[in-house]
A and B are shown apart, each in its own frame.
Chain A
């Protein structure tokens, strides 16, 4: 009866003498270790001991001899084919009728697969814990069951603080349906892959995360819980937004540059047309007085330099749109004075309001002032070694007033500004008309030109 029970046991049951010789061997021992009874009975039990555990059996037998029992001792044994198995070993002393220990009974359970599963579990747990991603599990009601180190790092909660709480603790207030929707899909057995959403940390920071949630199934395939892996993509989202912002900025900047380039292209060609027109008009006067051809050239050069100075000042301006007209005026007059006078001292007095002008107005005003200064230098100061040019600027909401005067000889009595056959005055009158302004001349010895220019709606 007992022999039958022993033979039908799933555990290997065998006995050995106190010297370690195998005395009995059941069927499970045969299955577990690969030896048939006739191959092992009478032989030392150390046959089943791996070399690195050679001292285990003498040690166990010493304890048996003392009447001790060894319970559930996990060790490794070697099968006949050399394969290693993990066993849980229980060894008990066998006594004779007088109570003397005469042998030992061993019951061995193969726990290789359990041990492997345990190893795998430990291995997986260490992977989970060492992951930079937040990994948590939750039941189907959303109660958090486990919480790895990554989750602690990401969200700021320790496992003690959060396990047992509902996962909605992580949801931002503006996404109240997010977690219920995820739970609903999970209950249907669906997996949520790389779902980009937001969560809040313990200290209230908002995070962008990529979330993968998978159902956890029992052995019958029923969904019993869910695992969630969250990766912090805040930096990536920030980079994406930054990249998108930079692309928009670059496109805007490129569009502005294209507009600017077209504008510059237009300005260049338009100015060339103005210069060409000035030269052509001046050539008619030069033809009347061929001996004045060199004067005509010099005057034309100064007109071109006056236009050029506008561009120079404009391209130095912060917005490339408006220039400080008084600064331009000082540079212009300095330029003209140097071009026309040698050993002549000309004092320039500019007073009044500072104002800014755009390209068109600047070129017109620049050419007008260029003509008036040239006129002063060539005619008013012809017989003087020094002279004073005064310019007063004042502005109202709708007009700009400029007064120009010199302390030179004044216009000759026979010269009427309105009717004078002077190319310079013709240019002045044309440009004043272009600026929708007016010009009047007063004074005899101290000629003053009074100019008023209406401010257009878009500014000067």
Chain B
């Protein structure tokens, strides 16, 4: 199993109306190797300076930035268009929904896309984090350095593809 299979499947799932919408490989093979097309990451961050820098960091590390959103509402409305493989999301956002609520909507109504939360708060500050589907998210504390961010994103991707 190559990672390209996984990516293709992700794209299929993005357009699929069938029940199983997970980024699950067709076989049990590992997806440790680098995909032949860049992974698409949606950045959800209300601080655009942070988002802009994150975009450059991701691009420099071989990711493709699917888009930048400032609110959870915008993520939900444009999710299919952005078609991300991963979501990198702040928890405190500009709109009404916070990152955790947005994640729950994504997983329950759109796709089971892995989400890396990036926030200046501690996870204990958000009791409703437990509402997010287990195994489909990870957490990184702000401020974080680019290598740490990239490592977390890659780990989350590998972990979710192996499930």
Chain A residues with CB under 8 Å of chain B are 262, 265-270, 272-278, 280-281, 284, 427, 430-431, 433-434
Bound Cα distance from A278 to B46, whole angstroms: 15
Bound Cα distance from A265 to B56, whole angstroms: 27
Question: Which of B49, B143, B144 is close to A430, meaning CB atoms less than 8 Å apart?
Answer: B49
Judging by beta carbons under 8 Å apart, are B49 and A270 in contact? no
- For A427, the chain B residues whose CB sits under 8 A away are 49
- For A281, the chain B residues whose CB sits under 8 A away are 49, 52-53, 56
Is there a chain A Cβ closer than 8 Å to B74's Cβ?
no
Q: A266-B120, A272-B143, A273-B120 are in contact. Are A430 and B57 (CB under 8 A)?
A: no
Is there a chain A Cβ closer than 8 Å to B48's Cβ?
yes
Bound Cα distance from A415 to B54, whole angstroms: 28
Judging by beta carbons under 8 Å apart, are A434 and B48 in contact? yes
Bound Cα distance from A273 to B92, whole angstroms: 14
Q: A280-B146, A281-B52, A430-B52 are in contact. Are A269 and B120 (CB under 8 A)?
A: yes
Q: A266-B121, A427-B49, A431-B49 are in contact. Are A280 and B92 (CB under 8 A)?
A: no
**Proximity bits, B121-163, A CB within 8 Å = 1, else 0:** 1000100000000000000011111100000000000000000
Residues facing A in B29-64 (CB within 8 A) are: 46-50, 52-54, 56-57
Interface centre among B92, B121, B125, B142 (most CB of A within 10 A): B142
Judging by beta carbons under 8 Å apart, are B125 and A274 in contact? no
Chain A residue at minimum C-beta to C-beta distance from B144: A273
Bound Cα distance from A269 to B47, whole angstroms: 13
Question: Which of B48, B56, B125, B143 is close to A273, meaning CB atoms less than 8 Å apart?
Answer: B143
Judging by beta carbons under 8 Å apart, are A434 and B47 in contact? yes
Is there a chain A Cβ closer than 8 Å to B111's Cβ?
no
Judging by beta carbons under 8 Å apart, are A284 and B120 in contact? no
Given contacts A269-B143, A277-B53, A430-B48, 19 further A-B contacts (CB under 8 A): A266-B92, A266-B121, A269-B141, A269-B142, A273-B47, A274-B49, A275-B143, A276-B53, A276-B143, A278-B53, A280-B57, A281-B49, A281-B52, A281-B53, A427-B49, A431-B49, A433-B48, A434-B46, A434-B49
Bound Cα distance from A281 to B142, whole angstroms: 17
Question: Which of B54, B70, B120, B141 is close to A277, meaning CB atoms less than 8 Å apart?
Answer: B54
Chain A residue at minimum C-beta to C-beta distance from B57: A280
Question: Which of B50, B92, B121 is close to A274, meaning CB atoms less than 8 Å apart?
Answer: B50
Interface centre among A267, A275, A277, A434 (most CB of B within 10 A): A277
Judging by beta carbons under 8 Å apart, are B121 and A277 in contact? no
Q: How far is the CB of A39 from chain B (nearest CB, A)?
A: 100
Bound Cα distance from A268 to B143, whole angstroms: 9
Q: A277-B52, A277-B53, A280-B53 are in contact. Are A270 and B141 (CB under 8 A)?
A: no
- For B52, the chain A residues whose CB sits under 8 A away are 277, 281, 430
Q: How far is the CB of A330 from chain B (nearest CB, A)?
A: 24
Q: A270-B47, A427-B49, A430-B48 are in contact. Are A280 and B120 (CB under 8 A)?
A: no
- For B144, the chain A residues whose CB sits under 8 A away are 273
Judging by beta carbons under 8 Å apart, are A262 and B121 in contact? yes
Q: How far is the CB of B4 from chain A (nearest CB, A)?
A: 31
Judging by beta carbons under 8 Å apart, are B48 and A270 in contact? no
- For B54, the chain A residues whose CB sits under 8 A away are 277
Bound Cα distance from A430 to B49, whole angstroms: 7
Interface residues contributed by chain B, number (CB under 8 Å): 21
Bound Cα distance from A427 to B49, whole angstroms: 7
**Proximity bits, B57-82, A CB within 8 Å = 1, else 0:** 10000000000001000000000000
Bound Cα distance from A147 to B49, whole angstroms: 83
- Sampled A-B contacts (7; CB under 8 Å): A262-B125, A265-B121, A268-B120, A272-B143, A276-B145, A280-B146, A434-B70
Interface centre among B120, B121, B146 (most CB of A within 10 A): B120
Judging by beta carbons under 8 Å apart, are B70 and A280 in contact? no
5 closest Cβ pairs, A-B complex = A269-B120, A277-B53, A272-B143, A273-B143, A273-B142
Q: How far is the CB of A148 from chain B (nearest CB, A)?
A: 61
- For B141, the chain A residues whose CB sits under 8 A away are 269
Q: How far is the CB of A283 from chain B (nearest CB, A)?
A: 10
Bound Cα distance from A276 to B47, whole angstroms: 12
Bound Cα distance from A386 to B70, whole angstroms: 41
Q: A266-B121, A280-B56 are in contact. Are A431 and B48 (CB under 8 A)?
A: yes
Bound Cα distance from A233 to B9, whole angstroms: 78
- For B142, the chain A residues whose CB sits under 8 A away are 269-270, 272-273
Bound Cα distance from A433 to B69, whole angstroms: 12
- For A274, the chain B residues whose CB sits under 8 A away are 47, 49-50
Question: Which of A270, A275, A430, A433 is close to B120, meaning CB atoms less than 8 Å apart?
Answer: A270
Chain B residue at minimum C-beta to C-beta distance from A268: B120
- For A273, the chain B residues whose CB sits under 8 A away are 47, 50, 120, 142-144
- For A434, the chain B residues whose CB sits under 8 A away are 46-49, 70
- For A262, the chain B residues whose CB sits under 8 A away are 121, 125
Bound Cα distance from A275 to B141, whole angstroms: 15
Q: How far is the CB of A9 from chain B (nearest CB, A)?
A: 96
Chain A residue at minimum C-beta to C-beta distance from B46: A434
Bound Cα distance from A278 to B53, whole angstroms: 7
Bound Cα distance from A266 to B120, whole angstroms: 5
Q: How far is the CB of A229 from chain B (nearest CB, A)?
A: 54
- For A280, the chain B residues whose CB sits under 8 A away are 53, 56-57, 146
Bound Cα distance from A265 to B145, whole angstroms: 18
- For A269, the chain B residues whose CB sits under 8 A away are 120, 141-143
